[in-house]
Amino acid sequence: MNDLEKYFENNPGNMINKWTHYFKIYDNHLSRYRGTDVHILEIGVRHGGSLQMWKAYFGPEAKIYGVDINPRSRELEEEQIEIFIGDQGDARFLAELREKLPRIDILLDDGGHTMDQQILTFEMMFLHLSEQATYICEDTHTSYWNTFGGGFRREGTFMETAKGLVDDLHGYHKRGRNENFRVTDYTPYVDSIHFYDSMVVIEKDRREVPETVRSGNPVIDQGKNP
């Protein structure tokens, strides 16, 4: 068990409701921020239990922000934890949130899980995050559920958007005339995209044009197979 699993199993605080395989993924991607003055934003507060978990996990320097549509969520504010009330499907609210939170190192979208919410939140927040930030979208199986606007391989779902980002990731290798394949706004800022059951993790990093490198001694005649 990692520290998050231990916290969850012995949860001394408010209710946390998560898929049990998430904790290992969190630890894999987020442990590098522990003990730093990390700024984390979680959309979807409910009983505030995971905000408390992040506080315990990241330590006393961390700033934990929550967003929820339920006005009563503000009752869950405490030291290190601040909560904003609003609708993640509302572009104006997200624009205001960017003003209020100039620095975000980790964003977890565990909000309403509908396609328009997940996609709008990604489109408005991702490039705003700090340079080596981590973006996590949770419960992405709703991309396959009609009631959330999803559908298997249906255009306009969060999963299809995330798959499209895989192409952006390769934008520096543009060849040929297809205008859709190019360096996009995302190409210089997306390091990698990680898919798990129900979860997509996107790691930011500043990227330049990639380069091939060589070292050592050539020993084989490559003939016509260079």
Partner 1 sequence: MNDLENYFANNTGNLIMKWRHYFKIYERHLSRFRNSEVNILEIGVRDGGSLQMWKDYFGPNARIFGLDINPQSAQLRESQIEVFIGDQQDKTFLTELAQRLPRLDILIDDGGHTMQQQINSFDVFFDQLSDHGVYICEDTHTSYWASFGGGYRKPGTFIEYAKEKVDLLNAYHNRHGEPGFEVNDFARSTASMHFYDSMVVIEKAPKQEPELKHTGKMRLPRFKATRIPKG
Q: Site mask, partner 1, residues 12-31, x = CB under 8 A?
A: xxxxxxxxxx---x------
Beta-carbon contacts of 53 under 8 Å, excluding residues fewer than 6 positions away, are 4, 7, 8, 11, 13, 16
The stretch among 44-52, 57-65, 97-105, 121-129 that binds partner 1 (CB under 8 A) is 44-52
- Whole-angstrom Cα distance, residue 13 to residue 122? 30
Among 92, 99, 206, 215, binds partner 1 (CB under 8 A): 215
Per residue, the 3-state secondary structure of 162-194, as one string, reads: HHHHHHHHCHHHCCCCCCCCCCCCCCCCEEEEE
CB of 102 to partner 1, least distance (A): 27
Q: Is 167 in the site for partner 1 (CB under 8 A)?
A: yes
Q: Considering only residues 55-114, where is the footprint of partner 1 by CB under 8 A?
A: 69-70, 72-73, 75-76, 87, 89, 112, 114
- CB neighbourhood size of 80 (10 A): 17
Does position 213 bind partner 1 by CB under 8 A? yes
By CB under 8 A, name the one of 79, 99, 131, 178 that touches partner 1. Answer: 178
Residue closer to partner 1 by CB (options 61, 96) is: 96
Rounded to 5 degrees, φ, ψ at 83 are -125, 135
